Chain A
Amino acid sequence: MLATGSAGAALTAIAGPTTLPAADALAASERAGSRYFQHGVASGDPLPTKVLIWTRVTPTAASRPGSGKGPRAHVTWEVSTRKDFRTVLRRGTFVTGPSRDHTVKLDVDGLRPATWYYYRFGFQGTHSRTGRMRTAPAAEATPTNLRFGVVSCTNWQAGYFAAYRGLAQRDDLHAVLHLGDYLYEYGAGGYGYGQGDVDIRTHDPKHEMVSLEDYRRRHAQYKTDHDLQDAHARYTWIITWDDHEVANDQWKNGAENHQAAEGDYHRRRARAHRAYDEWMPVRMDGTAALGDGDRLYRRLTFGRLAEISMLDLRTYRSQQVATAAPTPVPAAEAEVSDPDRTITGDAQMRWLKESLARPQPFWKVIGNPVMITPVTFAQLPADVLAPINDVTGLLPHDGLPYNVDQWDGYTADRLEVLRFIKDRHIQNALFVTGDIHSGWAAEVPYDVGNYPLGGTGAVEFVCTSVTSNNLKDITGTPARTTSLAVEQTILANNRHIKYLNFDDHGFSVLDLNAKRAQMDWFVIGDRADKDTPIRYSRSFISISATGRVKETDVPLHRQKPGQS
């Protein structure tokens, strides 16, 4: 089918039987297509009858990412329930060009709920590799279980994406959650492997990404990683951003890693968001279209069993509190509890409350870019603290935090969320988090100074980083040495935290059923080794309706679906 119109236009047709290519012809077509489809394929944001699919075409050698060069290109797409595309259910043509960096992103509708599909793109008689995607269950469905890969913090320069390989090799997931820091802004040598920031692989461009071309080239580079391509092709992803998609420690009007010489911050962020919209399989402002808004927080419903609310905790937040001593020294600045400061922004806070209040979803999963669990020292019960602060106003609400870039630096917003949960006794709120390059399982207390008697409003599982430096890397010490003491200090002062691993990189697998939520942590060996082994590490569960977390010695791979 031919298409006309401007770049980004998509035409869709319901397809009938088509000519059947033989398997070897299919493979040959894909090999030929690798010349045009150098950045893989991806799918994202599954709905019961609709999934977003993505690719990037390189129609000419000059059409390099970020170059702004190259012709308009008509890219075909097909969706089938068969890997060999013997029958094609949906097909169409998408017109792309240099104005959108030759990316292709569109919503495929008319699909059946809870169904695996195959998709591919075509150009000049060749085909892309075949991707696999899955629709969400119907709104009233009660799936036995839902299983998600969970990842965050993938720094190209710090090593290879073995964790993505681990996800791509699995066959038991329904989708993949990426909690942010999908790519990093630093230039060569800026942030790499270990204490010396060695570049295992060097970023392109070699300088910090600032311009639109920079952001496009960096996205393109990440999309050439074979493990990343395999994981995208294997599963439908649900992604949010954290800070590094723009610049380190970004907030609504700036970032730690944005200097005046780099121009206006909001223009820089707009460029970053534009490139993100072009290159990532996400719906921004609810659509696959470009330029119609950059709201990334959104809900995805999986029948009655779960709803995932993906947060954006960077675009609307107040500036981080300046602390007298750097992280991880506990911060005594009471400004972290200033009610005028926000991490969500007003509109997103209202939206998050709507998510929590929705009656039907059993698990209310919150895709949460930074930790919400208090990680603090010298906590006092709220009833004791309140009169002290009435007089002095000197103390943070939930104790002295070690990292004010997390919800710990915005305790008024956290308190607002927890009060909302408590006032309605909302059950099964589950925060799934990235950012902090370490693995955690924790309960989120209503009043950290009165834990456990004061009850808990949610639980939180935090995946570790795929490659970004963790504590042992930063300190340059062997695993399970320096980190152990830090972990024990934190655990001893925060009894609501049940698991903490500061040393390992890897990925997690989250499984949900009506009995419990379980997260398994998988860890990798050396990030510098492309073929580094992957092994299972630990498992923690939260029995439904309890708001509690405990360890289990039965990993998911030893359970049947629906088992507790």
Chain B
Amino acid sequence: MCGCGDRHAPGEPTPYDVGRAELATGRRTLLKAGSGLAFSTAALAAGTGAADARSAAAKTRKRVYVLVVDGCLPEEISGGQTPHLFDLMVSGQRFAKAQSMPIMETIPNHVMMMTGVRPDRSGVPANSVYDRKAKIVRDLDRSSDLRADTVIERLNRRGLRTGTVLSKEYLYGIFGTRATARWEPFPVLPITGHAPDEFTIQAAMAMVEDVDPHLMFVNLGDIDRYGHADITGPLGAKADRRLALAKTDTYVQRFVDLLKSRGLWKHSLLIVLADHSMDWSTTNRVVSLSGPLDDDPVLRGRVQIADNGGADLLYWTGPTAQKDDAVRRMLRIAKAQPGVLSAHDRRQASLRLGPEAGEVVVFCRSGWRFSDPDPRTSNPIPGNHGHPATRPIPFFLNGGHPSVPRYAASPLVAQTVDVAPTVARFFGLTGTPRGGWDGTARI
């Protein structure tokens, strides 16, 4: 598995299924928006809460829009290919050296954006993990998987309105009902588990008009999804991907145009970034660790692998007394495989991944991917991320609020985990999460 398709136990409803069921049972309230779109809000909050929020909203006209161009490479933002994004980048505050954080996957980096803390504090280190209690490899897509406070909730507590427009089912799942309003992604494409950007941006625009959140968190998934499936990627052509880039670029501009026409732009901070970038591999450059690990007499049958495309997480399931020996064996075997860039004891301080990431973290080289447990069928797609080659991301600020620098560039290294403290500072939120931010405010 690449870690990007939804993965659940057979018959288990996805969080997306659960969300729609909540609507049916009345535990959530559906707000009918324009264009036939629907947003849900917590049932109790729908009436009085909305009024309270509107009252609180009068205190600030500031707005923040976080647009995640999922899977975009920094060098893909260019005047020829994405002219509108390029103009936003150049005319605002750009961080040309920005990074996704390990594991360079969608769910953990969106969680870092909204929590401002690293996975060892949020409990969300990867898309796919081995759930030791359930004894299954699954996606971290349950709202309860996220243990840390989010800036969404911090704003809610201040009486400000928040909204999530997340194109991917598992993002919808993990952020759950935290926002004042959330879009029910639709239509969701089979296999990819995401709504096309055309619909996502319509939803974002409708939410601006009907809910007007102070903070809106939007994931545009097409660039990532087209990238995953682009068979011309390994050749460098990236034909499908380029099409997605061009389309998403126009959607972003449409969104900005709406903000300007509604008079919101002059009060706004727009944060555009990616959660990770993308790398492509051919079918002859696949790493599968399950076989070599099973060849070891100590490890055989006692290691679970959570395949995250460019990163494998290895979990020791044998006796605790043998764990240190098992870790040494896993590291040695992994490092010996062609296509493996590095293998790390998960407890390595700089990784900051937490126990949910298992015992050993293995990254592949550029132009390779993992396919575990089956070397042929588990991950057949050419586009992957999760490994260091996919760490650089675009990251820039724009917007009409006077605090947004104009035509500025910084040599500092911005990271996905910087988004929450940036949002907090913009709104003037006092206090920090217990233990402080792991990120840095970039405004």
Contact = CB atoms under 8 A, between A and B. Distances in A.
Given A360-B413, A513-B409, A515-B96, A424 B75 contact: no
Given A453-B236, A455-B236, A514-B96, A425 B389 contact: yes
A545 B235 CA distance: 21
Given A427-B97, A514-B411, A515-B96, A547 B365 contact: no
A476 interface: no
A546 B77 CA distance: 9
Contacts of B411: 142, 303-305, 362-363, 514
B410 A450 contact: no
B388 interface: yes
Given A304-B411, A453-B237, A428 B97 contact: yes
A454 interface: yes
Contacts of A425: 277, 366, 388-392
B409 A544 contact: yes
A453 B391 CA distance: 20
Given A453-B237, A455-B236, A514-B411, A544 B97 contact: yes
A359 B99 CA distance: 10
Given A362-B97, A428-B97, A515-B96, A545 B392 contact: yes
Contacts of A292: none
A381 to B, nearest CB: 9
Considering residues B96, B341, B412, B413, which has the most beta carbons from chain A within 10 angstroms of its beta carbon?
Answer: B96
A454 B411 CA distance: 27
Contacts of B97: 362, 427-428, 544-545
A422 interface: yes
Contact of B236 (A303, A450, A515): A450
A423 B409 CA distance: 26
B78 A515 contact: no
8 contacts: A142-B411, A423-B388, A425-B391, A427-B74, A453-B235, A454-B236, A513-B409, A515-B94
Interface of B: 74-75, 78, 94, 96-97, 235-237, 277, 341, 365-367, 388-392, 409-413
Contacts of B410: 142, 514
Given A419-B366, A425-B390, A562-B409, 7 more contacts: A422-B366, A423-B389, A427-B96, A428-B96, A453-B235, A453-B237, A545-B75
A86 to B, nearest CB: 36
A564 interface: yes
A427 B411 CA distance: 12
Interface string A533-556: 000000000001111100000000
Contacts of B388: 423-425
B277 to A, nearest CB: 7
A296 to B, nearest CB: 27
A446 B283 CA distance: 20
Contacts of B235: 453
B391 A424 contact: yes
Nearest to B367: A422
A424 B412 contact: no
Nearest to B97: A362
A515 B90 CA distance: 9
Contacts of A453: 235-237
A424 B97 CA distance: 13
B75 A547 contact: yes
A303 B412 CA distance: 10
Contacts of B96: 362, 427-428, 514-515, 544-545
Nearest to B95: A514
8 shortest interchain CB distances as A-B pairs? A453-B236, A362-B411, A514-B409, A544-B96, A514-B411, A515-B409, A422-B366, A545-B74
A513 B390 CA distance: 24
Listed residue (B75, B235, B367) with the most chain A CB atoms within 10 angstroms of its CB: B75
B409 A564 contact: yes
A546 B389 contact: no
Contacts of A423: 341, 365-366, 388-389
A424 B389 contact: yes
